[in-house]
């Protein structure tokens, strides 16, 4: 993954507090429309509707950074979709129970050391863990080895790492790295991870 793509991924973590005060007032003007949308649709559909409207609006503009803004908007939708794939996600408490009753701190330590996949939920000040990485009370075999490869240079964020496992790769016969790991076929995934980091 390129440095530019990594920086773009990190920019997606925009919280209310990150907005300048003047922008917060403008953003608040959207609240009634967003409330109405979210009362009719599930959260991910609400995000898709808002992003589609935003992309439609941006496509009529010919200003600098429109392409970057559109990419950020698409990235937000992709991030929300990744949260729901293959069984959704677990809290640290749920992950600790799946892993045979480890302490919550032990689970979080594994995440910080790069041995478990997860992402930070800013609003909840918590880490969520993709459910698909767990199997039979443990982490899917080979996952930690691939995470080691993906974490070598420290430029890949949580979403880039999760995306690696869930996106089809031509080097893996158009299958996902996750599919290979489930079959116990680790070496091709490690090679794909090395190529992904170039």
Listed by start position, the domains of the chain span: 3-86, 89-196
Tokens of 44: 């991910």
Name the nearest CA neighbour of 197 among 142, 163, 151.
151
pTM for the full predicted model: 0.68
At 160-188, the pLDDT tens digits run 899 999 999 999 999 999 999 999 999 99
At residue 7 the predicted structure's pLDDT band, cuts being 50, 70 and 90, is very low
Please, are residues 191 and 172 in contact by the beta-carbon 8 Å criterion?
no
At 126-145, the pLDDT tens digits run 899 999 999 999 999 999 99
């Amino acid at each position: 993954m390129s440095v530019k793509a990594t920086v773009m991924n990190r920019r997606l973590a925009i919280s209310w507090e990150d907005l300048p005060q003047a922008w917060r007032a403008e953003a608040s003007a959207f609240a009634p429309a967003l409330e109405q949308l979210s009362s009719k649709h599930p959260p991910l559909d609400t995000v898709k509707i808002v992003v589609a409207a935003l992309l439609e609006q941006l496509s009529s503009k010919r200003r600098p950074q429109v392409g970057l803004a559109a990419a950020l908007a698409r990235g937000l939708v992709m991030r929300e979709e990744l949260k729901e794939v293959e069984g959704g996600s677990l809290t640290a408490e749920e992950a600790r129970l799946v892993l045979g009753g480890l302490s919550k701190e032990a689970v979080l330590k594994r995440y910080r050391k790069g041995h478990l996949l997860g992402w930070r939920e800013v609003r909840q000040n918590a880490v969520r863990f993709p459910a698909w990485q767990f199997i039979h009370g443990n982490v899917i075999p080979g996952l930690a080895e691939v995470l080691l490869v993906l974490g070598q240079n420290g430029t890949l964020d949580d979403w880039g790492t999760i995306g690696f496992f869930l996106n089809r790769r031509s080097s893996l016969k158009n299958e996902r790295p996750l599919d290979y790991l489930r079959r116990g076929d680790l070496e091709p995934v490690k090679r794909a991870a090395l190529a992904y980091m170039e």
